[in-house]
Amino acid sequence: MAVARGDMDMTPLLIVATLGTTAGNMVWYGIGRWIGIARLKPFVDRYGRWLTLTWDEVEQLNRFFNRHGLWVVFFFRFLPTFRTMISLPAGMAKMGMPRFLLATFVGSAIWNAVLAYAGLLLGSRFEELQVYVGPVAILTTAAVVVVWAYRVVTWKRR
């Protein structure tokens, strides 16, 4: 929207936003790397019901991530909340830093461009969009909470 008002140029905005996003995700990657997959086991054993995960499922997810991590990180950059949190399992799985940086930088650059150009197109009409976005966000959050609650209630240790 600042670009639409003429207060900012698009190119520097995209460069700074993408570098900032990448740097922030490197912090989460580093935390995941420090924690590692082995340190996660006692936590999953103790709180698995609330996570609705068993250790076997964590190991399956880790194997999947080791095979497809580049694409997982890339595609998760387009999902709210998950775009940041995916950096933790990337670090835990010890995904190579060059691959992580590539997937993070490219995915973030695309997402930032989409957001910036949406702001440019919407300009001052952004408030009109909130009429639709607000209810959709509330319904999506409610659906996620309901699915999680159902999983917690019906969860059985294997």
pLDDT in tens, 52-107: 888 888 898 889 988 999 999 999 998 877 888 899 999 999 999 999 999 999 99
Residue where the block lists tokens 């917690």: 152
Give me the pLDDT at residue 158, please: 61
Residue 129 reports pLDDT greater than 80: no
Tell me the Cα Rg of the chain: 19
Q: Are 101 and 22 in contact (CB under 8 A)?
A: yes
Residues 6+ apart with CB under 8 A from 1: 119, 120, 122, 123, 124, 126
Q: How many CB atoms lie within 10 A of CB 74?
A: 19
Cα torsion angle, 69, 73, 74, 78, sign: positive
Give me the pLDDT at residue 53, please: 83
Average pLDDT over residues 37-65: 87
Residue 118 reports pLDDT greater than 80: yes
